[in-house]
Homo-oligomer: A and B are copies of this chain.
Amino acid sequence: MTYMKKKYPIRLTPQRLAILEYLEGNKAHPSASDIYKAVSEKYPMMSFATVYNTLDTLREKMQVLELSIDSKKKRFDPNTKPHHHLICMECKAITDIHRKFALDLTDGERCDYKIMRNHIDFYGVCSNCKKKTK
C-alpha cells in the first residue's frame, strides 16, 4: 500500500486508503453516498463524515474532481486530467472524452473574467438506447 505515498500527498490512514482504493480507476463518477456504501461494506468502521472529509481533502489537493452533472448531489471523478463528457440523454451514462478543445472567447464575451478552463458536455443517445427507442 505504501506505493501510494508518493502519489497522494496526504496522510494515508486506513479509511483514506479504503476510499482511494475504491476510487482508483473508477469511471462511474460516484456520489459521496455511493462511496460510503461501497467502502463501508468492506470497512464497517467508516463514517460518513470521514468520506466527506477525505473527499474535501482530496479535492483541495487536486486528487479528485467534484462534478455538478447531477443537480441533486455532488459526484466525484478520480480522473483529474481535464476532460469532457458525453452524456446519454436517455440512460444518463457518462463517457469521458480526453481531448483538449481550444475555445477562445472574444473580449466582449469574456466580460473581464479571468478564464481558467472549460468543460464540454456532449448530449446524445447512446447506441443501446438508440436501439430501444426504435
Contact = CB atoms under 8 A, between A and B. Distances in A.
Q: How large, as a class, is the contact surface on chain A?
A: 35 or more
Interface of A: 66-71, 73-74, 86, 88-89, 95, 97, 99, 101, 103, 105, 109-127, 130
A68 to B, nearest CB: 4
Nearest to A99: B109
Contacts of A113: 86, 88, 95, 122, 124-127
Contacts of A99: 109
A116 B123 contact: yes
A97 B105 contact: yes
Nearest to A130: B114
